[in-house]
Structure 1
């Protein structure tokens, strides 16, 4: 075989939209209260081999945390008017490790990207690709089991934030 080898495959992905009748600022604030920002100290512990201590801290985390976010609405200002749109990375490092230990490529989808946006008509919504569909491509019962729980946790918190 001659390297590099380029391969592609097509997968089916379920895309979810959860609409809200609340104002963008209200939904954003509620989401950020329900799903707090992860403490980067955990990654420092892991970097220095403090795995036992890191595991204890990871086990104490809530089901979901915000790893990071990008103000995509501000970026739109380059091409025209700004809009309310924030892309969040939401997940749990322990959950990710439970999947990636079976197939490292699952790391492509952990954490989950979630977009909170307001359309031109003022309708606020969350959008994301369902974990059960993105992780399903790996054909692993172990990954699927974790993805099902992740899917339930994510949907529940986003519906609560949107209410």
Structure 2
């Protein structure tokens, strides 16, 4: 099956420097980078409540945690290209479960991707695809309702980091 659907792409153009946006964004995130944290907590948890408590310990103030940071600017500099671009995979298993329990197809788009970059003209942007639009192809009201809440959390984080709306 091949499916087509519309995705809403959001970009917050910030008056702040790239470094300031990155610092503000990262300050709001917890971290499970390193690959083995979630599996280790799954194995150690003795109950649902214990698992939830273990996961909450990794949440940042935003309720999100960072799974992966990819500094494209770092590797591009080795290619002779000066660029400021960082991509992140962020999420929270406790947020994901509000959607993925209704449709396993949600797992294709959570955790979510965010990119912070500086344009050639010097403008700093924070970009993401709106989660509810990514989930729209599933045609599931329960998923959509939960994804709309995720949209609001992500939008609030983006505004906090950039000082700008999309």
Deviating beyond 6 angstroms after TM superposition, the runs of 4 or more aligned structure 1 residues are none
TM-score normalised by structure 1 residue count? 0.86
Q: Secondary structure at the match of 1:69?
A: strand
User: In the alignment, which residue of structure 1 is the partner of 2:27?
Assistant: 33
Q: 2:18 aligns with which of 20, 24, 28?
A: 24
Higher radius of gyration, 1 or 2? 1
Q: Secondary structure at the match of 2:30?
A: coil
Unaligned 5+ segments in structure 1 are 1-6
Query: Does the C-alpha gap of structure 1 residues 30 and 49 become closer, same or farther in structure 2, counting only changes over 3 Å?
Result: closer
User: In the alignment, which residue of structure 1 is the partner of 2:149?
Assistant: 149
Larger displacement relative to structure 2 (117-126 or 92-101): 92-101
TM-score normalised by structure 2 residue count? 0.85
Distance in 2, matches of 1:75 and 1:9, equals 34
Unaligned 5+ segments in structure 2 are none
Distance in 1, matches of 2:78 and 2:137, equals 36
Aligned length: 157
Matches within 5 A, 1:8-157: 8-38=2-32, 41-47=37-43, 50-52=46-48, 53-59=50-56, 61-62=59-60, 63-77=63-77, 79-157=79-157
Q: Secondary structure at the match of 1:13?
A: coil
